[in-house]
Amino acid sequence: MAHSAEPSTSPAETELALAQRLLKQAGTSADYAASVLEQLELPREAWPSCCGSSCDPCVGTLNRIALQIKSQRARIAEAKHAEHQAQLGTGTGGAEVVDPAP
Protein backbone atom coordinates (compact mmCIF):
# COMPACT_ATOMS: atom_id res chain seq x y z
CA MET A 1 0.00 0.00 0.00
CA ALA A 2 1.41 3.41 -0.91
CA HIS A 3 1.90 6.04 1.74
CA SER A 4 2.13 9.77 1.36
CA ALA A 5 5.43 11.50 1.99
CA GLU A 6 3.81 14.27 4.01
CA PRO A 7 1.22 13.30 6.60
CA SER A 8 -1.67 15.70 6.80
CA THR A 9 -3.04 15.99 10.27
CA SER A 10 -5.82 17.89 11.87
CA PRO A 11 -4.86 20.02 14.86
CA ALA A 12 -6.66 17.60 17.15
CA GLU A 13 -4.88 14.50 15.87
CA THR A 14 -2.50 13.21 18.50
CA GLU A 15 0.90 11.79 17.66
CA LEU A 16 -0.39 8.37 18.67
CA ALA A 17 -3.31 8.66 16.25
CA LEU A 18 -0.95 9.95 13.56
CA ALA A 19 1.40 7.00 14.10
CA GLN A 20 -1.51 4.57 13.95
CA ARG A 21 -2.79 6.14 10.73
CA LEU A 22 0.63 6.14 9.06
CA LEU A 23 1.22 2.52 10.07
CA LYS A 24 -2.11 1.50 8.56
CA GLN A 25 -1.30 3.44 5.37
CA ALA A 26 2.00 1.53 5.18
CA GLY A 27 0.14 -1.78 5.52
CA THR A 28 1.52 -2.38 8.99
CA SER A 29 -0.35 -3.03 12.21
CA ALA A 30 -1.25 0.07 14.21
CA ASP A 31 -0.11 -1.92 17.28
CA TYR A 32 3.43 -0.65 16.60
CA ALA A 33 2.47 3.00 17.18
CA ALA A 34 3.78 3.13 20.75
CA SER A 35 7.08 1.63 19.62
CA VAL A 36 7.42 4.25 16.90
CA LEU A 37 6.78 7.04 19.41
CA GLU A 38 9.28 5.54 21.88
CA GLN A 39 11.84 5.45 19.10
CA LEU A 40 11.48 9.21 18.67
CA GLU A 41 12.91 9.68 22.16
CA LEU A 42 16.21 8.14 21.04
CA PRO A 43 18.89 9.95 19.04
CA ARG A 44 18.53 9.16 15.33
CA GLU A 45 21.84 7.28 15.26
CA ALA A 46 20.50 4.90 17.93
CA TRP A 47 17.56 3.82 15.78
CA PRO A 48 17.77 0.24 14.52
CA SER A 49 18.55 -0.33 10.86
CA CYS A 50 17.18 -2.85 8.42
CA CYS A 51 18.90 -6.22 8.68
CA GLY A 52 17.70 -7.42 5.28
CA SER A 53 15.88 -10.45 6.71
CA SER A 54 12.41 -9.44 5.47
CA CYS A 55 11.13 -8.80 8.99
CA ASP A 56 7.49 -7.81 9.28
CA PRO A 57 7.35 -4.99 9.92
CA CYS A 58 10.74 -3.93 8.69
CA VAL A 59 12.40 -1.42 10.99
CA GLY A 60 12.99 0.65 7.84
CA THR A 61 9.23 1.11 7.60
CA LEU A 62 8.99 2.05 11.26
CA ASN A 63 11.92 4.47 10.82
CA ARG A 64 10.19 6.20 7.89
CA ILE A 65 7.04 6.63 9.96
CA ALA A 66 9.05 7.98 12.89
CA LEU A 67 10.72 10.47 10.52
CA GLN A 68 7.31 11.58 9.23
CA ILE A 69 6.17 12.24 12.80
CA LYS A 70 9.43 14.04 13.58
CA SER A 71 8.88 16.21 10.50
CA GLN A 72 5.32 16.92 11.65
CA ARG A 73 6.67 18.00 15.06
CA ALA A 74 9.06 20.41 13.35
CA ARG A 75 6.28 21.89 11.18
CA ILE A 76 4.09 22.42 14.27
CA ALA A 77 6.98 24.07 16.14
CA GLU A 78 7.70 26.35 13.16
CA ALA A 79 4.04 27.32 12.89
CA LYS A 80 3.87 28.11 16.61
CA HIS A 81 7.04 30.20 16.35
CA ALA A 82 5.67 32.11 13.34
CA GLU A 83 2.39 32.70 15.16
CA HIS A 84 4.28 33.98 18.21
CA GLN A 85 6.34 36.33 16.04
CA ALA A 86 3.19 37.61 14.35
CA GLN A 87 1.63 38.31 17.76
CA LEU A 88 4.68 40.35 18.68
CA GLY A 89 4.06 42.46 15.61
CA THR A 90 7.45 43.05 14.08
CA GLY A 91 9.19 39.75 14.54
CA THR A 92 11.83 41.56 16.61
CA GLY A 93 10.44 40.75 20.03
CA GLY A 94 8.28 43.86 20.04
CA ALA A 95 11.27 46.19 20.10
CA GLU A 96 11.48 48.88 17.48
CA VAL A 97 14.45 48.47 15.21
CA VAL A 98 16.25 51.77 14.65
CA ASP A 99 18.85 52.21 11.97
CA PRO A 100 21.73 54.06 13.57
CA ALA A 101 22.66 57.34 11.89
CA PRO A 102 25.86 57.10 9.87
For residue range 43-81, what is the model confidence (pLDDT) as tens digits? 999 999 999 999 999 999 999 999 999 999 899 889 989
Would 78 be classed as within a structural domain?
A: yes
CA dist 93 and 85 (Å) reads 7
Would 101 be classed as within a structural domain?
A: no
Would 38 be classed as within a structural domain?
A: yes
The size of the chain, in residues, is 102
Would 65 be classed as within a structural domain?
A: yes
Domain hosting 76: range is 15-88
Secondary structure tally for the chain: helices H, strands E: 3, 0
Would 94 be classed as within a structural domain?
A: no
Give percent of the chain above pLDDT 70: 75
User: What total number of domains does the chain contain?
Assistant: 1
Q: What's this model's pTM, rounded to 2 decimal places?
A: 0.70
